[in-house]
Structure 1
Amino acid sequence: MVHSEGERTLSYPIPNPAPLDPPEEWERLRGGCPVAGVRLPSGDEAKLVTRYEDVKQVLSDPRFTRRLDADDAARVADNESGGVFNTSMSSALPQTGEGHLRWRRMVSKWFTAKRMMALRPGIEEMAERLIDDMVEQGQPADLKASLGFPLPVYVICDLLGVPAADRDRFSYWSDTLLNMTRYGEEEIAAAQREFVEYMAAHVASKRAEPGDDLISSLLAETDSEGRGMSNEELVATGQGLLVAGHETTANMIGKMVAMLLSDRQRWERLLTDRSLVRSTVEEALRFDANPGFGMPRYITEESELGETSLPRGTTVVCSMASANRDASVFEGADDMTLDRSPNPHLAFGAGAHSCLGQSLARTELQGVLEVLLRRLPSLELAVPAEQLRQVEGLVVGGLREVPVRW
């Protein structure tokens, strides 16, 4: 069915009925209104796509751009800057064409699967130490605060060569950048100034005294024409990686463990068959019903999406989480199947802008799960799953805490 203007405009994001469950609207929209009108927290209107094929097309089609700073692009957040997709950090990095490919080639050398696998022993060692501390502090414990949050932060700080001791500041700056409704304009602007100043000072210190880290490497890196990254690009790259390394994996560790413990049979099955860790991580990524806002795109020319014609200047929001529950692609889409194969989920996006750090995220999630299964086989949720509380007011989804005992 083609979306008609008579269809009511939904408020977006659509709230989850329970922390680990998908909104019922997803299925209704996929079946009857795959390109739906939505109103964002800013009050601006956009189109929401929920079917797998449509989401994959939007994420892969170069006509659907990341030019979300265009005058007529929908703003996400209810503040002057419009949210993370409209910030100076986004505009400092080339979003399309050869410039984007050049930037991506230079950064992606640091995120190859081979390089990430070399980090695996260190990640597992760090998880062991964090679990030691959690056990020593006693139960019940908050798995997110004790393990889910600090582990990815230590890893990304190490990669960037910034002190992990500054992690509370990074966390605050990160949250203000990902704000939809949580922070006011003045607070966001002040936090972003501090964040840019901090990262600029870090880049300058690495220019003076290079180390064995990603920023030092990018300072020395040139493309095929002998051009390096500008200072503005280096600062924005550092900011982007710090935010991405913080929020998404930290939240995903908590959500993955909560999903597995919310049905004891899942955890028991993993205890008896550790070979399922890799496919379980992929299935947790697919099954995640609370990933946050999704991925917005802006159309620079009139485009077709399924049977719907979209005028130039439309902002389209992709719900990868809804696409990952599309029964036309995934058999038993609403079941968490730990050995699902193949599993072509879209949790990391698709096309030229698919997540740069996906090998790192996979390595962290697999490493953490291995260590938890080995160290705390009796792990369980300390509250009923429906009492878990969701992160609110940010473009990322997650659980505020994951209370556990063992």
Structure 2
Amino acid sequence: MRVPPGHRRSALSEVVHDYPFRNPSGLEPPPQWAELRDGCPVAPIRLASGDQALLLTRYEDVRQVLSDPRFTRELSAGDAARVTANESGGVFGAGMASASVGAGEAHQQWRRLVGRSFTAKRVAAMRPRIEEMAEGLVDAMVAGGAPADLVSALGFPLPVWVICDLLGVPDADRDRFAYWSDTMLSMTRYEQAEIDAAQAEFAAYFASHIRAKREQPGDDLLSELIAVVDAADGRLTEMLLTATGQGLLVAGHETTANMIGKMVAMLLADRSRWQALLGDASLVRGAVEEALRFDANPGFGMPRYLSEEVEVAGRRLPAGTTVVCSLAAANRDERAFEHAEAMDLSRSPNAHLAFGVGPHSCLGQALARTELQAVLTVLLRRLPGLELAVPAADLAPREGLIVGGLQRVPVRW
């Protein structure tokens, strides 16, 4: 549904909010989350494209829509709202591969094929290698002296190193993916020509990488997927192989990279949190989960196209509606979490929605959790005196991207 410029109210006489909302600071949530959860849980919003959608902010409503296999992240229907004016095609990372494979049994088959490389057991076996990478990056950061930017020194390099290892990408090519990821996740930061050029470069690189892996396969996920394609059993097409590889590189890099900086900033913003972790290493796992729940700057959320009429929060939403599920707003819903506006490192249970839920939940969540736990473990061991080098209120959010994060996290030790 397109909204004429200057139009401020829907047919129900509700204010149409410009979306995404701006954060007061990098670690504070937009005030609209609480306002809408309480007063308008199904709220009209205008996206960066100018199109209109509906925003869901309550835990049960978000969970309901994301769990429903009828509703897809594929927004190619003619009446679906466009997220951005500039279409990157890779806006939701690995979701571009998920959308390409379709729904139902075909989608579940794709998830089984790719998901076997992201099982908790396999990812746990990667933990020593991840910690080794983190140790090396901390060494370099310390050698450079304080203050240092944790985002550029550790947050962004580590996840791309890990996903490149998983896909057999040569070490020399690691640093090329940050710009490609940014453009694929752009809402307003890049012009269409920049996005198109970056995507073409990315596609050309990955096609070349697939050819190299065919000639010399290794013990990595991409080699496994190529073997499936070459078996000619129809389970995974060449086009989907490329989309899967590209999507995993983008999603495996950008989301976790941003979360490392945010997680450490959250824990250092209140020194008692860091001290609690230093005193009890068993809190690390719970601290990671609570940081994921408490994240005030996660980015856009998860869009869904309603292919059928559905009732949400007592309101009937017609087929053809685009809804945006705000996972972060839902994660602060007092109806689902006691003292939701407080960060509790020992919160249990903690059924947050940071990785989604249902048939399209994040395939790489075991890997993301392992990376975050590994980073936190290494930092606590190596830099127990770590602290923010600027007031927490001065941490600025990254703007114009689907995935939220902090521009810099200056630290000293």
For 1:128 and 1:87, the matched residues in 2 are separated by 28
Paired residue for 1:365, among 372, 377, 394? 372
Q: 1:71-129: per-residue Cα shift (whole Å, max 9, x none)?
A: 11111112255772599945872131111111110000000001111011111111111
Q: Give yes or no for contact 2:255–2:403 (8 Å, CA) kept in 1.
A: yes
Point out where structure 2 has 5 or more consecutive residues left out of the alignment: 1-9
Q: Does 1:261 align with 2:280?
A: no
Q: Does 1:389 align with 2:393?
A: no
Alignment TM-score, normalising by the size of structure 1:
0.96
Partner of 1:182: 189
Q: Give yes or no for contact 1:16–1:290 (8 Å, CA) kept in 2.
A: yes
Q: Give yes or no for contact 2:161–2:171 (8 Å, CA) kept in 1.
A: yes
Q: Give yes or no for contact 1:287–1:325 (8 Å, CA) kept in 2.
A: yes
SS in 1 for 2:48: coil
| Identity of matched residues, % | 67
Q: Does 1:207 align with 2:214?
A: yes
Partner of 1:126: 133
Partner of 2:79: 72
Q: Give yes or no for contact 1:92–1:232 (8 Å, CA) kept in 2.
A: no
Paired residue for 1:285, among 285, 289, 292? 292
Q: 1:143-192: per-residue Cα shift (whole Å, max 9, x none)?
A: 11111111111100000011232233211111111010011111111111
Q: 1:186-242: per-residue Cα shift (whole Å, max 9, x none)?
A: 111111111111111111221222111111011223799943411101100010000
For 1:318 and 1:169, the matched residues in 2 are separated by 31
Partner of 1:276: 283
CA RMSD, 1 decimal: 2.0
For 1:299 and 1:224, the matched residues in 2 are separated by 36
Question: How many correspondences in the alignment?
Answer: 404
Q: Does 1:306 align with 2:313?
A: yes
SS in 2 for 1:64: coil
SS in 1 for 2:346: coil
- Per the TM alignment, residue 384 of structure 1 is displaced from its structure 2 partner at its CA by 0.3
Q: Give yes or no for contact 1:45–1:74 (8 Å, CA) kept in 2.
A: yes
Partner of 1:297: 304
SS in 2 for 1:37: strand
Q: Give the 3 Å change call, closer, same or farther, for CA 386–309 of structure 1 in structure 2.
A: same
Residue identity opposite 1:162 in structure 2: V
Q: Give the 3 Å change call, closer, same or farther, for CA 224–305 of structure 1 in structure 2.
A: farther
Residue identity opposite 1:25 in structure 2: Q
Paired residue for 1:96, among 99, 103, 106? 103
Alignment TM-score, normalising by the size of structure 2:
0.94
Q: Give yes or no for contact 2:299–2:405 (8 Å, CA) kept in 1.
A: yes
For 1:368 and 1:388, the matched residues in 2 are separated by 20
Q: Give yes or no for contact 1:152–1:246 (8 Å, CA) kept in 2.
A: yes
Q: Does 1:147 align with 2:154?
A: yes
Point out where structure 1 has 5 or more consecutive residues left out of the alignment: none
Partner of 2:6: none
Partner of 1:158: 165
Q: 1:321-358: per-residue Cα shift (whole Å, max 9, x none)?
A: 00000001101100000000000000000001110000
